[in-house]
Structure 1
Amino acid sequence: MSFFGRNIKKIRSLKLLSQQAFAEVFDLKRATLGAYEEERSEPKIDTIIKIANYFSIPIDDLLTKELTINQLLKFNTNLTTDAGRMEVTVLTKVPIILPEYVGDYLNHHSKKNFIADLPVMSLPINNEKIFRAYTITDLEMANQDVGFYPNDVVVGELVPKSAYKKLNNRTPVFVITDTDILVRRFITTDKGFVLRADHKGIDDQIFNAKQIHELWRIRYVFYKRIPETSGEISDQINLLRMEIEKLKK
């Protein structure tokens, strides 16, 4: 057996990192890292190279000798010991629902194995919450050159059913129903939950809590194009122009 497991455990201790945090940086499972540190298994060569390169440690040293703290301090330990910065360094893997997966997602969204097989996007966001990404495919949330357009990607945070009524009216969400994934503004009424599109030609839809399988509050948006100025700001600019014209006259 090599000294690899002992050395990476020492690096973790030096940098005050949990097994989970260290494993995620190198795309490993926590249990796999634990097996390395306990010398129950040896890593693949690509894992060894990746970690050695990351810390600028010669592969031979990492494998054939137990490194001291003083030796490790001389190497380039890029992993920060600052907890606040570490949260940004470790990326959260967010499953993304691509257009070709919508039908399967409607049928299998509750199955952990299916979710685990979805493609992911890695983002520097809170990894203690559950997120899902969805690719926009229509113009139902577009209005006068603002809003969401096809191929924009929205990232939502899972909202439990008990918190539906706590959402602010007109909060942008995407909702999983029996037959569709709807991107809408969420409005609570006495008759139920109204899902309203920004496009004026789309009718409101009303659902009760049982008809909504999942509700994701949109937290982040990745635009395929640079968004236009919002309608509110455009109106303010037009008013200013009118006032300037009055002053000129």
Structure 2
Amino acid sequence: MSFFGKNIRKIRSVRSLSQQAFADLFDLKRGTLGAYEEGRSEPKIDTIITIAKYFSIPIDELLTKELTVNRLLKFKGNLTTEQEEFVKEQFANIPCIIKNNSNDYLHNHDKEEFIKRMPCLNLPISKEVNYRGYTVDNLEMSSNDKGLFPKDVVIGEFIPEKNYRNLDNGTLVLVVLENQLVLRLLYITNGILVLRAEHKNVEEISVDLKEVKEIWRICYVFYHRLPVMGEALEDKLLYLEREMEKIRSRM
């Protein structure tokens, strides 16, 4: 039995990489990587070789042994045996789009000097992934008292253009267009990007994929307000109560 799936899942954990980020490194679909990790599919030999070389792990160990965290930390490639260095390595400076620089970002998103001057968040996540922060400034992704509200902060990982079509429909993304920044749910059909809001009174936006400047897949959210605890549980109880009523009515 191959240990490939277990080992790449452990590598992701050690390197603080999401499935999407890991898949993008090797031009894979996230669903394909998930199938590898769950043992539902075996990778091609070229994929095994590429991943083994990237992380400097012997192929036989990647396939035939369940690698431990300590063992993984001994392989090179930005992994270290010193715990203090390892923890420090996980902190990344994340440039943030805020109200004061959002218009400038539209015109300078591809200029390195401008990006360097942006305010940054310092978070214990992988430095190997290109992240961007964004401060929510509207109610488009809110529904009643749930969702995202102004001053909430989202963190997105950069999605290369070649991987746009690998994104799952319904993924929350920050999209950079010619004249606006849009935080919405993404849907792609026949080369058309549809961006849908959670707010019922906000119309969807449809653009050709060729008009897109950048896409950032949202992977972290920081709420400005303290979420009301227990709402999810109350919703579940209400749902169960309604289902029980349906069952009683049939008896």
The TM-score normalised by the length of structure 1 is 0.61
In 1, the alpha carbon distance for the partners of 2:109 and 2:214 equals 9
How far the C-alpha of 1:145 sits from its partner, in A, is 1.5
**Taking structure 1 as reference, are residues 138 and 111 closer, same or farther at Cα in structure 2, changes over 3 Å only?**
same
Are residues 1:183 and 2:183 paired? yes
The equivalent residue for 2:69 is none
Count of aligned pairs between the two proteins: 169
Give structure 1 stretches of 5+ with no counterpart. 1-79
2:161 is aligned with 1:166: no
Structure with the greater alpha carbon radius of gyration: 1
User: Structure 1 residue 125 and structure 2 residue 109: aligned?
Assistant: no
Alignment partners' CA distance in 2, 1:99 and 1:180: 12
- Which secondary structure does the structure 2 equivalent of 1:99 belong to? coil
SS class of match (2:227): coil
- The 5 A counterparts of 1:223-238 are 223-228=223-228, 234-238=234-238
Instruction: Answer whether contact 1:192 1:207 (CA < 8 A) is retained.
Output: yes
Alpha-carbon RMSD: 2.8
- CA positional deviation for 1:144: 2.2
Could you say which residue in structure 2 is the equivalent of 1:157?
A: 157
How far apart, in 2, do the equivalents of 1:176 and 1:201 lie? 22
CA distance in 2, matches of 1:178, 1:151: 24
- Report if aligned partners of 1:131, 1:155 keep a CA contact under 8 Å in 2: yes
Q: Deviating runs (4+, > 3 A) in structure 1?
A: 80-88, 228-235, 241-247
Q: Structure 2 unaligned runs (5+)?
A: 1-78
The 8 Å contact of residues 137 and 149 in structure 2, kept in 1 or not, is answered as: yes
| 2:80–2:86 CA contact under 8 A, matched in 1 | no
- Correspondence for 2:211: 211
Q: How much does 1:227 deviate?
A: 2.7
| 8 A Cα contact 2:175 2:215, kept in partner | yes
Q: Secondary structure at the match of 2:168?
A: coil
Cα deviation for residue 160 of structure 1 reads 0.7
Distance 1:218 1:118, change over 3 A: same
What is the distance in 2 between the residues matched to 1:231 and 1:175?
Answer: 30
Match of 1:103 in 2: 103
2:137 corresponds in structure 1 to 137
Cα shift readout 1:152-183 (whole Å, capped 9, x = no counterpart) = 00000000111111101100000111111100
By how many angstroms is 1:136 displaced?
A: 0.2
